[in-house]
Amino acid sequence: MNGLRDFPVRPLPGSVAWRAMANHMRAFPLLVLLLVACGGDPHEAAIDEMNDVYSDMISVLEGIDSKADVQAARGELQDLGKRMQEAGKRFQELGEPDSPERQAELMKHFMTSMRENQERLEAVMRKLMENPEIGEEIGKVMAEVDLG
């Protein structure tokens, strides 16, 4: 998979759905940089916490089958965005890793734990974008979700 380019049904470039999806797909490399630059020793638990929140967000998206479902999920998605911000702040407070080796271990842990969620996110976004009404609505809601 190569992000948005591999979606069989793509949102229109410039649409709200397109911008929201692109912003959230860009979040992964930024999270990686945050984890590497601000990683803590030994706290794989902090990485796992952020991964769990992201997994919960994807689970909410997986349960959406209609425009009404999108509206019903709005509050939960916004709450999950706040949880992600809080988890990111706690992670930053841990400080720098002790060594380059520890930094590499944390990066490996992060990449392993996020890989499954990345695949799930791409699959659910493809499904949601197949229906233009749902795709546009979820784009609006996701544009409101601040992951930090």
Range with lowest mean pLDDT among 56-60, 70-74, 140-144? 140-144
Residue range 40-63: mean pLDDT, rounded: 84
- Residue 95 has a pLDDT of 80
The CA distance from 73 to 56, in Å, is 12
Could you tell me which residue, 122 or 7, shows the higher pLDDT?
122
Predicted structure pTM score: 0.69
Give whole-number Cα distances, 88 to 47, 49, 84, 94, 105, in Å: 9, 9, 6, 10, 18
- Residue 65 has a pLDDT of 95
